[in-house]
Structure 1
Amino acid sequence: MSIKCRVWWPKELSTSDFPKSSRNLLLFGWLISCSSSCVDIVVAFAYSDNFLPLHSSDSAIQEAIHHANGGMPTTLQEKSGLIVLGCCVLPSENMDPITDHNMHSKDCEANFRNSSCGCLDYVGLLEQYRRGSVCSSTWIQLVHDAHSYSSSELGWIPALDHLHLNGKPSPQAELHVMIYETPEYGSHHFALNFCSSKLTNCPPKSPKWVDKLYQKHQLLDLDTVILAINCSAAANIYFRNDMDLQSSSRKVVLYMFLKFIWRLWATVVATFSTILYVVLQSFKKFTGSASNFWIFTALAKIFCNTWRNTQVKCHQILYWPIYLNETGLRCQACVEYAEKAGLRRHSFWSSAVADVFLGNLVGFTLLIHEEAVLKWFSTCAIQYTDDVLRTGCVWLMGVPAGFKLNTELAGVFGIISLNAIQIWSTIWFSATDIFANVIIKLVALSGILLGMTIPVAMITDMIAIAAFHVYTLHYLISLLYSLQIQILAALWRLFRGRKWNPLRQRLDSYEYSVEQHVVGSLLFTPLLLLLPTTSVFYIFLSIMNLTIIFSLTLVEIIISIIHDTPYSKVLLWLTRSKRFPSGIWFETIHCQSASSVDGFLSGSPPSCKSTPQDKYMILRKSRPLLSLLRSNTLTFGQVVFPHYKNICSGVHGQTLRSEISGILMGKSISTKLCSEVPPEVPWMSISYKDYWYVCYNAVFTRMQ
Structure 2
Amino acid sequence: MDKFCQNMMFTYVIVYEPPSYGAHHFSLCRSSSNDQVKTSMKNPKWIDELHKQQKFIELDTVILAINCTTAAKKSFERHVVPRRSSSQLSVFPMFFVIIGHLVSKFMASFSTMFYFVLQFFQTHFNNESESWIYVTSANVFKRTAWINIQIRCSQILYWPIFLQENDLRSQSCVEYAEKAAMHRHSMWSTLVVDILLGNLVGWSLFYHSDTICLSVLNFTHGFATFLRSGCVWLMGNPAGFKLNGELAGVLGMVSLNAIQIWSTLWIFVGFIFNYIIRGLSILGILCGFTVPAALVVDMITFATLHVSTLNWLIALVYSLQIQALAALWRLFRGRKWNPLRQRLDSFDYTVKQHIVGSLLFTPLLLLLPTTSVFYIFFSIVDTTINLICILIEVTISVIHATPYIKIFLRLVKPGRFPSGIWLEIFGCESSSTVSPNADFTDKMTSSNESCHLKDFNREKSSFLVSVLHSNYLSIGKVVLPHYRNVFLGVSRSSISTAAYGILIGQRIPSTCGTLLPSPMPWMSLPYKEYWCLCHDSLIACFR
Instruction: Give TM class, smaller chain.
Output: 0.7 to 0.9
C-alpha deviation, 1:279, in angstroms: 1.4
8 Å CA contact retained: 1:175, 1:624? yes
Rg: which structure is higher? 1
Partner of 2:346: 509
- In structure 1, what residue type is equivalent to 2:16? Y
- In structure 1, what residue type is equivalent to 2:185? H
Tell me, what secondary structure is at the counterpart of 1:701? helix
* Candidates 430, 435, 443, aligned match of 2:272: 435
Tell me, what secondary structure is at the counterpart of 1:480? helix
8 Å CA contact retained: 2:202, 2:285? yes
Q: 2:109 matched to 1:276?
A: no
8 Å CA contact retained: 2:255, 2:310? yes
Distance 1:666 1:224 in 2: 59
- In structure 1, what residue type is equivalent to 2:272? F
Give the 5 Å matches for 1:437-516.
Answer: 437-516=274-353
* Number of matched pairs: 497
| Distance of aligned partners of 1:286 and 1:678 in 2 relative to their CA distance in 1, 3 Å threshold | farther
C-alpha deviation, 1:483, in angstroms: 0.7
Give the 5 Å matches for 1:594-609.
Answer: 595=430, 597-598=431-432
| Distance of aligned partners of 1:265 and 1:414 in 2 relative to their CA distance in 1, 3 Å threshold | same
- In structure 2, what residue type is equivalent to 1:520? G
8 Å CA contact retained: 1:556, 1:674? no
Q: 660-669 vs 233-242, which deviates more?
A: 233-242
C-alpha deviation, 1:309, in angstroms: 0.8
| Distance of aligned partners of 1:470 and 1:326 in 2 relative to their CA distance in 1, 3 Å threshold | farther
* Candidates 542, 545, 558, aligned match of 2:379: 542
C-alpha deviation, 1:359, in angstroms: 0.7
| Distance of aligned partners of 1:367 and 1:680 in 2 relative to their CA distance in 1, 3 Å threshold | closer
Deviations 1:173-227 (A, max 9, x none): 62332111112222111111277xxxxxxxxxxxxxxxxxxxx975212222222
| Distance of aligned partners of 1:496 and 1:292 in 2 relative to their CA distance in 1, 3 Å threshold | farther
C-alpha deviation, 1:282, in angstroms: 1.3
C-alpha deviation, 1:326, in angstroms: 6.5
Distance 2:312 2:253 in 1: 17
C-alpha deviation, 1:240, in angstroms: 4.7
Partner of 2:438: none
Partner of 1:561: 398
Partner of 1:401: 239
Distance 2:216 2:184 in 1: 39
8 Å CA contact retained: 2:489, 2:515? no
8 Å CA contact retained: 2:72, 2:173? no
Deviations 1:540-585 (A, max 9, x none): 1111111000000000011111111111111111111111111111
Q: 2:495 matched to 1:659?
A: no
C-alpha deviation, 1:407, in angstroms: 1.4
* Candidates 645, 656, 669, aligned match of 2:484: 645
Partner of 1:44: none
Partner of 2:263: 425
Q: 2:16 matched to 1:174?
A: no
Distance 1:194 1:567 in 2: 24
- In structure 2, what residue type is equivalent to 1:408? E
Deviations 1:80-137 (A, max 9, x none): xxxxxxxxxxxxxxxxxxxxxxxxxxxxxxxxxxxxxxxxxxxxxxxxxxxxxxxxxx
Give the 5 Å matches for 1:65-464.
Answer: 174-193=10-29, 218-238=55-75, 240=77, 244=81, 251-252=88-89, 261-289=99-127, 292-293=130-131, 296-304=134-142, 305-325=144-164, 327-386=166-225, 388-432=226-270, 434-464=271-301
Q: What root-mean-square deviation, in Å, do the aligned CA atoms of Structure 1 and Structure 2 show?
A: 2.8
Give the 5 Å matches for 1:55-70.
Answer: none
Distance 1:560 1:291 in 2: 31
8 Å CA contact retained: 1:315, 1:683? yes
- In structure 2, what residue type is equivalent to 1:598? S
8 Å CA contact retained: 2:21, 2:71? no
- In structure 2, what residue type is equivalent to 1:227? L
- In structure 2, what residue type is equivalent to 1:447? G
Distance 2:148 2:208 in 1: 26
Identity, % of aligned positions: 50
Tell me, what secondary structure is at the counterpart of 2:242? coil
Distance 2:433 2:287 in 1: 75
Q: What is the TM-score with the length of structure 1 in the denominator?
A: 0.66
- In structure 2, what residue type is equivalent to 1:179? V
Tell me, what secondary structure is at the counterpart of 2:126? helix
| Distance of aligned partners of 1:578 and 1:371 in 2 relative to their CA distance in 1, 3 Å threshold | same
Deviations 1:442-491 (A, max 9, x none): 00110111111111111111111111111000000010001111111111
Distance 2:102 2:325 in 1: 78
Structure holding more strand per residue: 1
8 Å CA contact retained: 1:309, 1:454? yes
- In structure 2, what residue type is equivalent to 1:311? Q
Choose between structure 1 and 2 for higher RCO, CA contacts under 8 A separated by at least 6 residues. Answer: 2
Partner of 1:204: none
Distance 1:379 1:633 in 2: 53
8 Å CA contact retained: 2:243, 2:370? yes
Structure holding more helix per residue: 2
Q: What is the TM-score with the length of structure 2 in the denominator?
A: 0.85
Distance 2:235 2:101 in 1: 76
Distance 1:485 1:472 in 2: 20
8 Å CA contact retained: 2:485, 2:515? no
- In structure 2, what residue type is equivalent to 1:178? I
Distance 1:359 1:569 in 2: 21
Q: 2:388 matched to 1:551?
A: yes
Tell me, what secondary structure is at the counterpart of 2:24? coil
- In structure 1, what residue type is equivalent to 2:149? T
Distance 1:362 1:344 in 2: 28
Deviations 1:591-630 (A, max 9, x none): x33x3x32899xxxxxxxxxxxxxxxxxxx9974321111
Tell me, what secondary structure is at the counterpart of 1:587? strand
Gaps in structure 1 of 5+ consecutive residues? 1-6, 10-31, 33-37, 40-169, 196-215, 602-620
Q: 445-454 vs 278-287, which deviates more?
A: 278-287
| Distance of aligned partners of 1:249 and 1:273 in 2 relative to their CA distance in 1, 3 Å threshold | closer
Tell me, what secondary structure is at the counterpart of 1:585? strand
Deviations 1:619-663 (A, max 9, x none): xx9974321111111111011121112332211122122212211
